[in-house]
Structure 1
Amino acid sequence: MNAYQPRDIETKWQQRWAETQLYKTDEDPSKPKYYALEQFPYPSGEGLHMGHTRVYSIGDVVARFYRMNGYRVLHPMGADAFGLPAENAAIQRGVAPRDWTLKNMERIREEQKKVGASYDWDRYFGSCTPDYYKFTQWLFLLFYERGLAYRKQAMVNWCPTCSTVLANEQVEDGKCWRCDAEVIKKELEQWFLRITDYAERLLNDLDQLTEWPERVVAMQRNWIGKSEGAHVTFVIPELEDITVFTTRPDTLYGVSYMVVAPEHPLLPQLIAGKENEEVIQQFVTEMNKQSEMERTASDADKIGYFTGSYAVHPLTGEQVPIWVANYVLMDYGTGAVMGVPAHDERDFQFAQKYSLPIRHVIKPVDGVIENPDTTVYTDEGVLFESGPFNGMLKQEAITAISLHLEEKGLGGKMTNYRLRDWLISRQRYWGAPIPMVYCDDCGVVPVPKEELPVQLPEDVVFTGKENPITTSRAFLETSCPQCGGKARRETDTMDTFMDSSWYFFRFTDAANDELPFAPEKVNQWMQVDEYIGGIEHAILHLLYSRFFTKVLYDAGMVNVSEPFKSLLTQGMVLKDGFKMSKSKGNVVSPLEIIDQYGADTARLFILFAAPPDRDLDWNDSGVEGSYRFLGRVWRLFEQHHQLLQSEIQPAGSLDKDAKDLNRLLHQTIKKVTEDIKDRSQFNTAISSMMELVNGMYTYPEHADQGIMKDALQKLVIMLAPFVPHITEEIWEQMGHTDSIHLQPWPNFNPDALVQDEVEIVIQLNGKVKERCTVPAKASKEEIETTVMDQPKVQGLLEGKTIRKVIVIPGRLVNIVAN
C-alpha cells in the first residue's frame, strides 16, 4: 500500500495547475457568474500567518464549489501594497519602499500558491505599481470633476510618530491605528472627499445588505450616526452668528449658556481683548494635544472658560454667555452647543462646576420636579416656562419650535450625521501622489488624465521627520497644464484606503491600460457574490468601498450601487487565548504546518476547528487529527483501488446495508451542499464527510460493492474544494485524466433519504426502557401493536394496569401504567 506523502503530492499538483492554467477565469457568457473575493493582504515582511490561511481557505472552498456547480468563477488575488509599514521598514533597513514591497509581494504570492489557492494569477496586481495607481489618480480626478474632492484648511488628527495626518476612522481610542502613538490636533490644508454628500444613501442602502452580518450593518449605521433635530442661530452683535445643532429644540427656553469647541474658528474673535484671552489661548494649545476620546469620556473632568462674549437667545432676546470647553468637538455638529443643564447630564455637570443657572422647562405631565437644583430631567413631559409653547408635550414642541425658528429665519428642522468628510491627504512617501499642481496664475489645477500616472520620485531623502517627497526638487517643479507657466506639484499622497476602495472593480478588467475598467466587463461580474475578510474592516474599508461604488454608479461606470452582495467576516486565530502576534511569541506560521503535515492538513484543520465567523483556538492535536483523517481517506481509496478500476454498478435492488450506506451518502451530499451554499458552515460540512468515511469503513465486504464504489467517487469530489491536492491525486489514481476540480458537483437523491424502517424509543412512565425498529410508514395502531409484542415490554407490564399509551410516530411510545 502506498503511503500518503503530502509534500510530493502538493508540489506535483501545484506545478500541474500552473502549467495547464487550470484556474484561469472562464469567460463563457452562457454560464451563470460567481465572483468570490478575499480581502487582499498587505505585503509586510512577516509573510502569511494562520489568519491569512483561514480567509484564503474559506474563499477557495467557495470558488471551487461554484466552479464545480457550473458557474464561471472570478477568483482573483492582489496586494494592498502602499502604506506606512513599508516606508518605515525602508527607513529602518536603508532600502527603497518599492524594492521592499515588491520582494514581499512575491514571497506572499509563493506562500499563497503553497496553500493551494485557485487564483487566476493573470489578474494579479499590487496597488503600488504605476499601472494601478495611475487609475487611483484617474478616479481622484473623477471625484474632483464631480465636485466631490476639495481642499481646505482644517484641524486634523496628526500622528507625531508617523508624521502624517489620520482620518477620524484611523484614530482608535485616541491613538494612531498603525503605531499606537497619541494623536494630536494640528491645522493643515488638506484634501477631502465629500462622503457626507452620500450619507443618507449610505445609510438607507444598508437595508439592501440582507446577506451581511447584522453586527457589521449596525457598526456602519452607528458610524454614519444620523440624528434628527434642528439648527438654531444665536446672533452675536458685531460678529458672525453661531449656529448649533440640537436634537432637543423643545428645551430651547432652558438655555443658560453656550459652549464652543477649542478649535472653533470664531473663538479668536470672541476672546480678543477679553480678560481670559491668554488663559484660553493656552487652554486651546493643551486641547490640541488631547485625543477626542480623552476629552469626551464620561468620567473626564469638564473644563471650560468664559470667553467674555455673549450671544442673543433667538426666542427670548436674553444675553447668553459664551464659554469654551473641552467636551465640545469641532467634528460633531457645528462645533458649538447650547447649554441646557436642567435636561442634559453633561451640561448639568458643567453648570454645577461653574455655578451657571439651571432652568427647568419640561416637567412630568402629572407632577412637578422635586429638588430642581440637583435634578436632571430627561424623560417625556410637558413644557412650562416656555412662552407660547407652554403645555405642549415634548414631541409636539420639537416640531412647533423648529417651525417657529424657521419662520423667524433663525433655524429650522435639520438632519445631522456623525460621519465627516473623508480626509485623504497623507504627508508620507509610499502612497499614490495626488495629481494636482499649484500655479500662481491659475491656482489649483488638475493634471490631465492623459498625463497620468504622476509617478513617485526616486530621488528622495527619508529623514523620518518630513514628507520625503518634498526633498525631490525634480518632482516639485513642474509646468502648469493650463498656462504652461511655472507650477509646483502637490506633495501629499493619498490615504491607502483609496487604493482598496476600488480594487474589486479592477480585477474584472486588470489588463486595461486606457481606463480603470471597461463598463461592459465590470458589469459582467459585479457585485462581488461573496466577500471574505476580517471584522476589523467593518467600518473603514467597507464604508469607503460603498462610497466609491455609489460615485461610480452615478458616473455611469457601473450598474451596481453596492459592491458586495454577501459578506463573511471570519474570526481571529488565537493561541493560548491571544491573537497570534510576534510580540506575544505565539505565532504559528502556515509554512511550518505545510512543511510538516501538508497544505491540505492546514486547510482542513482551519476550516474544521470552528465556524468561520467565530474565533479559532489553535490546537496542535487538532492539526494532527486532521492529518490522521486524511490518512484514513487515503487508505480507504488504496484499499478499494481494484473496485474503483472495475465496471461494477449498484444493484437494482439494494439490501439493508447498501440502503443504509446509500442513504448516508445522499444525506452527506445534501448536508455539504447546503452548508457551503446556504450557511457557510464549513466545519459541519467536514464533520458530515467524516461520518460518511466512518460508515464506509464499517460497510461489510459482502454488501453491494456498486454502492461502495459510488460513495467513494462522490466522496472524493465533495472533499475536493476543501483538500484539493490529495483529492486530485486520488482522482488520477482512479484512472481519470481530467482534473477533479472540473467535475460536476454531485446531486442528492431525495428518494434515497427515505427510510424503510426507523428506530423508536419505548418509555414506561416517561423513562426509557427499550428500543425497537418499526416500518417508517407504520400507523399509530401498528406501532403500538409492535411495541406491545416486545418480550421485554410484556415483562415490564406484568402485574400493572395500562392507563394510557402515547405514540409519536418515528420517535417514541410512552406507556403510562401503575
Structure 2
Amino acid sequence: MSEVYNHHAVEQKWQKYWKENETFKTDVWDFSKPKYYALDMFPYPSGVGLHAGHPEGYTATDIMSRMKRMQGYNVLHPMGYDSFGLPAEQYAVTTGNHPAGFTEKNIETFSKQLRELGFDYDWSKMIATSDPKFYKWTQWIFKKLYEAGYAKHIDMPVNWCEELGTVLSNDEVIDGKSERGGYPVVKKMMKQWVIDQQAFAEELLDGLNEIDWPESTKEIQRNWIGKSTGVEVDFDIVGGGKFSIFTTCIETIYGITFMVLAPDGEIVKSLMDRVENPEEVQAYIDETLKKNDLDRTDLNKTKSGCPLKGIYAINPVNGKEVPLFMGDFVLASYGTGAVMAVPTHDQRDFEYAQVHNLPLIQVINNTEGTVDVSEHAFEKQDYLGKGCILMNSEEFNGMTVEEAKKGITKKLVDMGVAREKVNYHFREWIFARQRYWGEPVPCVYKEDGSIVFLDDSELPVVLPELEDYKGRNGKAPLENATEWKAYDKNGIKGTRETSTMPGSAGSSWYYMRYIDPDNDNEFANQELLKHWMPVDLYVGGPEHAVGHLLYSRIWNRFLYNKGLSPVKEPFKKLVHQGMILGENGIKMGKRFPEFVVNPSDIVRDYGADTLRLYEMFMGPLEVSKPWNSNNVTGARKFINRVYTFFTEPGNITDENNGNLEKIYHQTVKKVTNDFEVLGFNTAIAQMMIFVNAVYKEGSCPREYAENFIKMLSCICPHVGEEIWQILGHDNTIAYEPWPTYDESKCVEDTVEIAVQINGKVKATLNIGKEDPKDEVIAKGKELIADKLEGKNIVKEIYVPGRIVNIVVK
C-alpha cells in the first residue's frame, strides 16, 4: 500500500522519545493532583508472545489513562507479569534449564511487543511474581494468614497427576485427565496448605454491593460462594456411629427414603468392616477417585451409585430406618459428605431413586390436596413451597411449609440432634502445588512434627537450583534439593516445606506492589496505599470471575481487616473486554491456525496506531467480535486521511469563520462522554464525522485542530505526537490540557421532520426548532404542493419537531 506517512519511522521515533524521557513515569508521592489508577490483568509471559486479543483491553486502559492525564490527574498505569507457572516448569523438566531464564526471555519478548504498541506504561514499576523481591512479600502475607488462623495444613482429597508430579485444580482436569498433556488424574488424600475462604464469605457478599462491576460477574461470585441458611441434623447409624447432613428444606424430612454418602469420605471408610458387599463398595470408591469434582457434580448425568448393604440410618424425627447408599455426586470435601434424599420433592433425588428403584413418600401437597404420589409411582412432583401444606408428616400434617419449617426445626433442636446453620458452597482454597516454579512456603517442619514459620529477616526463601525439576511418587521437585531442604538455624532444626504456592498467590495482591515496587521494608508504604487504592479501572477477561477476582478480594479483605489495606475492595470499576475471534467467527487457536492474527504482523504492515484504532472501532468493548482484515485497511486509510489534512500547509488557519463550531463542540462532548463509559467505537465514529466536516470546509481553525489531535492521540498516540510536533510544538502532547466544550454550542438549531399525506411520508423538511406552527405547516404544504393538487384538505396536523400531516379526501 502507498503510505501517506512512514509508520515505521514515526512509531520508532516516539517510542524512543517516551523511553528516553520517561514520559509516563509516575511520581506516586505527588498528592497535589487527583489520582487515577488504571490497571490491566497482567499476562503470563508465554513463549508465543502476544496474540491479537491482548491489545484490546490494554488499549482501553491506555486511552483512559491518557485522557485522565490530560484532565489533570496523576495517572498510574503499570504493567507486570504473572510469571510463575507450569509451562516454565515443563520447559525446565524437558531441557534441564532453570525456568528463570526461559521466563526472563519471554518477559523481554512481551515487553518489546507492548512497547511497540505505544502503551503509556510506567515501566519503572514493572513487577514479576517470580522475582524474589516480589515474592518475599507474597511469603510474608501468607505467613500472616497462617498466624491469623486462615492458612491451614490439613489432610484432604486432591486431584493428583503422577506424570506431572503435582496436584491440579478442578479446572485443570478434563474427563479424568490433565488439561496439559492429557495425563491420568486420580483423587488422593494428601496434606495440603489451604486458605479458609468461608471465613470471608459474608464480607465478600457484602462487598459486591459496593463496587461497579458487571452484574453478571457479581452473580457468578454470589453463586460460587453459595450462601444457604438451613439446619444441620444428626443421624444415628444402626449398630453404632453417626453422621450429619445439612438441609435448607427441613420441612421435607419425613419424606426421606434413603441417604447418600460421599464414596471417598470418612463415613464410608468407618463402615467398611460392616458392609455386606465390601468388594462392590471398594470398586465404586476406586472408580470415583478417577473423576474430578466437576465430573461428579455439574457434569454428572448418570446418577451412578452403590448400596451399603446391611447399613441403615435412623431418621431422628420419626425413628424410621432408611438405607444408606454411595453416590459420586456427594463430595467428601463439601459440607458433611452426606445428604438426605427426598425423591418426591427433589429432581436429583428423584432421578437417583428411579435408577436404583427406591421408594417415594410425598410429604407436601398443594392447598387443594389434589397432588398424589403413591409410594412406588415414580412420578416426581415439583417442590411445593410457600402456601402449600404438609402431609405424611405426623403432627405437622396440615401446616403450611413456613409453619412446618419452624416447627420441625424446633422439635429437632429441642431433641438435641439439630442446630440452625449457615452454609456456603465454596470450599477451602487449596494453596499448595507439588511443583518447583512457584513461591516456596516459608516454614519448617520440626522433628516433633510441629510447624514453624521463618522469621521475617529470613524472607524471601529463594528457590534453589536443581538438576532434576520433576517430582516423583507424589513428592515435590524440591524434595530433590537435599541441602536446601535440611534446616538448622536459630535453634530450629527440621525440614523445609517442599510444596510451593499456586500461581494465584502473587496475583492476589500484585496491584498493591505496583504502587511501591522497590520497597524492601514493607509490601507497600501505607501512606501511598491510602492515596492510590482502590484501582479506579480494572480491565480483563470474565474467565477470572471465580479465580483471580475472588482470590484477590479475599487477600485484600484480610489485609484490610489487619489494617494493612486502606480499602475493603481492591477494584472500584471492573470491565470485561470481549473476545476477538478469528475471521471465521471462532476463537483463535490451534484448530484454525490460518485465522490466528499476530499483532506484530499488523504493526509491521499497518502500524501500531492502526491496530489500536481498528480494535477500538470493531464494536463495543465488552462484546466479542470477529477479525476483518478489510477493516484493518480502512482504519489505516482514516489515519492517512487525518495525517494528510492536518499536516498540509494552509489547511490549519488562525481564523475561525464559525462554520465548524457546532460539529467541533459536539465532537469534544461526545468523545469525552464516550471515553468515560469506554464507548470507544462511537467516539471514533464521531471523530470520523468531524474529519469529514473539516475536509468539506477545506480548512480548520488551529484551536479545533489541536484539540482534535489531543483526543485522537489517546487512541493513536504516535500519529498524535507527530502531528502535534508538525503543528509547531516541541513538547509531548501527553500532558496537554484536555479540550472542553460549550454546551450551548452543541445544540442543533434545526431539525428534520417528515411531511405526510394521510399518514404516509412524502418528503422531509428542515425547520428551525422555534419555528411557529403555521409557518411549518405552510412550508410543508409548499414542499408537497404537486401532490396536493385536486385534493380536498380536511385537516392539518403538526407534531412539534416530528411531523407535518396533511389529511385529504
- Of stretches 464-473 and 448-457 in structure 1, the one that deviates more from structure 2 is 464-473
- The change in CA–CA distance for 1:767 and 1:270 in structure 2 (over 3 A counts) is same
- The change in CA–CA distance for 1:178 and 1:523 in structure 2 (over 3 A counts) is farther
Residue identity matched to 1:742: Y
- The change in CA–CA distance for 1:341 and 1:716 in structure 2 (over 3 A counts) is same
Residue 676, structure 1, aligned to residue 682, structure 2: no
| Residue 598 (structure 1) aligns with | 607
CA–CA distance in 1 between the matches of 2:616 and 2:391?
A: 64
CA–CA distance in 1 between the matches of 2:600 and 2:357?
A: 66
| Secondary structure at the counterpart of residue 565 of structure 1 | coil
Kept in 2, the 8 Å contact 1:244–1:337? The answer is yes
Kept in 2, the 8 Å contact 1:310–1:320? The answer is yes
Question: Matches of residues 774-793 of structure 1 in structure 2 within 5 Å?
Answer: 774-788=767-781, 790=782, 792-793=783-784
Residue 541, structure 1, aligned to residue 541, structure 2: no
The Cα offsets for residues 451-470 of structure 1, whole Å up to 9 and x where unpaired, read as: 10111110341236452211
* Deviation of the 1:174 alpha carbon: 5.9
- Of stretches 804-813 and 65-74 in structure 1, the one that deviates more from structure 2 is 804-813
CA–CA distance in 1 between the matches of 2:448 and 2:320?
A: 49
| Residue 430 (structure 1) aligns with | 437
| Residue 196 (structure 1) aligns with | 198
Kept in 2, the 8 Å contact 1:304–1:326? The answer is no
| Secondary structure at the counterpart of residue 536 of structure 2 | strand
CA–CA distance in 2 between the matches of 1:531 and 1:15?
A: 28
- Of stretches 9-18 and 314-323 in structure 1, the one that deviates more from structure 2 is 314-323
CA–CA distance in 2 between the matches of 1:309 and 1:445?
A: 44
- Of stretches 449-458 and 377-386 in structure 1, the one that deviates more from structure 2 is 377-386
Question: Matches of residues 659-674 of structure 1 in structure 2 within 5 Å?
Answer: 661-674=660-673
The Cα offsets for residues 563-619 of structure 1, whole Å up to 9 and x where unpaired, read as: 111111011111122212245313211111111111101111111112111112111
Gaps of 5+ in 1: none
- The change in CA–CA distance for 1:162 and 1:773 in structure 2 (over 3 A counts) is same
* Deviation of the 1:183 alpha carbon: 4.0
Residue identity matched to 1:521: L
- The change in CA–CA distance for 1:803 and 1:106 in structure 2 (over 3 A counts) is same
Residue 416, structure 1, aligned to residue 423, structure 2: yes
Residue 718, structure 1, aligned to residue 723, structure 2: no
Kept in 2, the 8 Å contact 1:765–1:815? The answer is yes
- The change in CA–CA distance for 1:331 and 1:533 in structure 2 (over 3 A counts) is same
Kept in 2, the 8 Å contact 1:173–1:293? The answer is no
The Cα offsets for residues 695-716 of structure 1, whole Å up to 9 and x where unpaired, read as: 11111x5xxx5x5333322211
| Residue 788 (structure 2) aligns with | 797
| Residue 223 (structure 1) aligns with | 224
| Residue 15 (structure 2) aligns with | 14
- Of stretches 437-446 and 622-631 in structure 1, the one that deviates more from structure 2 is 437-446
| Residue 587 (structure 2) aligns with | 579
CA–CA distance in 2 between the matches of 1:544 and 1:180?
A: 27
Question: Matches of residues 181-580 of structure 1 in structure 2 within 5 Å?
Answer: 183-209=185-211, 211-236=212-237, 239-296=240-297, 297=299, 299-372=301-374, 373-377=377-381, 378-380=383-385, 381-441=388-448, 443-463=450-470, 465=472, 467-479=476-488, 483-484=491-492, 486-575=493-582, 576-580=584-588
| Residue 73 (structure 1) aligns with | 75
Per the normalisation by structure 1, the TM-score is: 0.94
| Secondary structure at the counterpart of residue 656 of structure 2 | coil
- The change in CA–CA distance for 1:180 and 1:805 in structure 2 (over 3 A counts) is farther
- The change in CA–CA distance for 1:686 and 1:183 in structure 2 (over 3 A counts) is farther
CA–CA distance in 1 between the matches of 2:26 and 2:598?
A: 30
Percent of counterpart pairs with the same letter?
41
Alignment counterpart, residue 49 of structure 1, candidates 36, 48, 51: 51
| Secondary structure at the counterpart of residue 782 of structure 1 | helix
- The change in CA–CA distance for 1:4 and 1:457 in structure 2 (over 3 A counts) is same
- The change in CA–CA distance for 1:684 and 1:587 in structure 2 (over 3 A counts) is same
CA–CA distance in 2 between the matches of 1:611 and 1:110?
A: 28
Kept in 1, the 8 Å contact 2:536–2:572? The answer is yes
| Aligned-pair Cα RMSD in Å | 2.0
CA–CA distance in 2 between the matches of 1:515 and 1:196?
A: 28
Kept in 1, the 8 Å contact 2:230–2:248? The answer is yes
Residue identity matched to 2:339: V
- The change in CA–CA distance for 1:634 and 1:558 in structure 2 (over 3 A counts) is same
| Secondary structure at the counterpart of residue 251 of structure 1 | helix
The Cα offsets for residues 617-637 of structure 1, whole Å up to 9 and x where unpaired, read as: 111111111111100011111
Kept in 2, the 8 Å contact 1:174–1:293? The answer is no
The Cα offsets for residues 36-75 of structure 1, whole Å up to 9 and x where unpaired, read as: 0001110110011111111211111111011111111110
Residue identity matched to 2:757: L
Residue identity matched to 1:516: F
* Deviation of the 1:723 alpha carbon: 0.2
- The change in CA–CA distance for 1:755 and 1:310 in structure 2 (over 3 A counts) is closer
* Deviation of the 1:650 alpha carbon: 2.2
| Residue 686 (structure 1) aligns with | 684
- The change in CA–CA distance for 1:746 and 1:177 in structure 2 (over 3 A counts) is farther
The Cα offsets for residues 622-678 of structure 1, whole Å up to 9 and x where unpaired, read as: 111111110001111122x3454x6x2425xx4xxx1xx21111111111111110x
- The change in CA–CA distance for 1:84 and 1:581 in structure 2 (over 3 A counts) is same
* Deviation of the 1:392 alpha carbon: 1.0
* Deviation of the 1:442 alpha carbon: 6.5
Kept in 1, the 8 Å contact 2:170–2:294? The answer is no
The Cα offsets for residues 93-115 of structure 1, whole Å up to 9 and x where unpaired, read as: 33211110011111111111000
| Residue 814 (structure 1) aligns with | 805
Residue 769, structure 1, aligned to residue 773, structure 2: no
Kept in 2, the 8 Å contact 1:696–1:708? The answer is no
Residue 128, structure 1, aligned to residue 167, structure 2: no
CA–CA distance in 2 between the matches of 1:496 and 1:194?
A: 18
CA–CA distance in 1 between the matches of 2:16 and 2:706?
A: 25
Kept in 1, the 8 Å contact 2:647–2:727? The answer is no
Per the normalisation by structure 2, the TM-score is: 0.95
| Secondary structure at the counterpart of residue 53 of structure 2 | helix
| Residue 616 (structure 2) aligns with | 607
| Secondary structure at the counterpart of residue 784 of structure 2 | helix
Kept in 1, the 8 Å contact 2:758–2:808? The answer is yes
Kept in 2, the 8 Å contact 1:79–1:127? The answer is yes
The Cα offsets for residues 130-153 of structure 1, whole Å up to 9 and x where unpaired, read as: 000111000000101111000111
- Of stretches 803-812 and 123-132 in structure 1, the one that deviates more from structure 2 is 803-812
Residue identity matched to 2:216: R
* Deviation of the 1:547 alpha carbon: 0.7
| Residue 5 (structure 1) aligns with | 6
Kept in 2, the 8 Å contact 1:270–1:307? The answer is no
